Chains A and B, each alone.
Chain A
Amino acid sequence: MIEHLVPRILAKLLIPFILLFGLYVQFHGDFGPGGGFQAGVIFAAGIILYALIYGLDRARRVITPGLVAFLVALGLLIYAGVGVATLLLGAEFLNYGALDSHDPVHGQHLGILIIEFGVGTTVAAVMITIFYQFAGRLQITRELESDETDDEDGEEEEMTGSPQ
């Protein structure tokens, strides 16, 4: 796709806006429509657009599959970690009021912000993962086929084709 000039240039212009809008939806969810789930999907869509335009290999260099797999787990851990933290502070599981000992309302604000961030992280990472796996599958299939026919060729492709 990189040889298509018009989508490439305009995508270069628009991807920052998509990512910024994702962050706006993420942190503006308390005030207007939106929240972690929507923000994660929008953010992932920006990355997917990059992968579509510049190719999967370059996208995988920017956001490595290892990092994405880490983020998938991290978001859920943030969410559950907040619950454990409130347990340790002496309140019920996920009762954010305990996060601030002076002002429970402020604790609620903080808790909602953190768990929405966790939700956004997991959703964005899962969406990117699903896209990576679906889009990268044909490459693997081709490699396997070329491997069966010509073993010497397969050796080289493995270096470039295998994910980090």
Chain B
Amino acid sequence: MSVGEWEALINVVLLGLLLVVTFGIIRLRNLFGVVMLAGIYSLLMAMVFTLLDAVDVAFTEAAVGAGVSTILSLGTLALIDSRREKIPFRFQFTPMLVALVTGAVLLWGMQDMPAVGTADAPNQVHVAPYYIERTPVEIDVPNIVTAVLASYRGFDTLGEVTVIFTAGIGVMMLLSSMPVIGARRRRRRNGDDQENDT
């Protein structure tokens, strides 16, 4: 078997495992277990990305999945009472029908798509040749992904960084201790007469 065939075989096995883990996540009624299975899902996705030669994406998945996503989920679980989440599993017809129809439509639409890695697929002939040809001349960095991300589409990346910035500011405003402590100080300052109420 050639390298490509081996990679295809491993890819199929990985996607099968992904399916198993997904159904496990759906069936599991315990949030902590869901967080753990989501960790496995992230590891599997990193390997699928690696097989698709999208090393930079796999790297992001690896860093986020191994480093922070599980920890932040656990931090959230510590804030909420996760033991109360006993949702009974019951079959619902309409959502199932909608999901099945959507899946069928997507599968039907996939018929027209070119195979993975086809050289003359529309996404390969649009701007990709330009990037591949011009990057050594104009930017001269070995990793073309970095060149596209940081230079050709720098404005787009600026927007992404702004999104992350906004997320950080939002979490700061929602959970930060400053407003709470300020409110408490205010309450204490003018609340001596109301002490009996509390």
Contacts and interface: CB of A to CB of B under 8 A. Distances in A.
Interface in B39-85: 55-56, 58-60, 62-64, 66-68, 71-72, 75-76, 78-79
Contact of B68 (A73, A131, A140): A131
B30 interface: no
Interface in A133-164: 133-138, 140, 144, 147-148, 151, 154, 158, 161-163
B157 interface: yes
Nearest to B165: A76
Interface of A: 25, 29-35, 37-38, 41-42, 44-45, 48, 52, 69, 72-73, 75-76, 79-80, 83, 93-94, 96-97, 104-105, 108-109, 111-112, 115-116, 118-119, 122-123, 125-127, 129-131, 133-138, 140, 144, 147-148, 151, 154, 158, 161-163
Interface stretch (B91-99, B100-108, B116-124, B173-181): B173-181
A48 B198 CA distance: 37
Contact of A129 (B149, B161, B172): B172
A131 B168 CA distance: 10
A134 to B, nearest CB: 4
B151 A96 contact: yes
Ranked nearest first, the 5 interchain pairs of A and B with the lowest CB-CB distance are A45-B67, A126-B168, A134-B75, A133-B175, A94-B154
Contacts of A118: 161
Interface string B137-151: 111111101110111
- Secondary structure of the B contact surface, majority rule: helix
Nearest to A111: B151
A138 B78 contact: yes
B177 A162 contact: yes
A134 B72 contact: yes
Contact of B164 (A80, A112, A123, A137): A123
B177 A135 contact: no
Interface residues of B, number: 54
Contacts of A45: 63, 66-68
Interface string B151-163: 1001101100110
Contacts of A144: 180, 184
A140 to B, nearest CB: 5
B171 interface: yes
Contact of A108 (B78, B151, B161): B151
B112 interface: no
A126 B157 CA distance: 16
Interface string B1-40: 0000000000000000000000000000000000000000
Contact of B143 (A29, A97, A123, A163): A29
A127 B150 CA distance: 21
B76 to A, nearest CB: 6
A33 B55 contact: yes
B167 interface: yes
17 contacts: A29-B146, A37-B60, A37-B63, A38-B56, A45-B68, A79-B161, A80-B158, A94-B155, A109-B139, A118-B161, A129-B168, A129-B171, A130-B72, A133-B171, A134-B72, A158-B184, A163-B178
Contacts of B145: 33
Given A30-B146, A93-B155, 15 more contacts: A35-B56, A42-B67, A76-B165, A79-B158, A96-B154, A112-B147, A116-B150, A119-B161, A126-B165, A126-B167, A130-B168, A131-B75, A133-B176, A148-B198, A151-B188
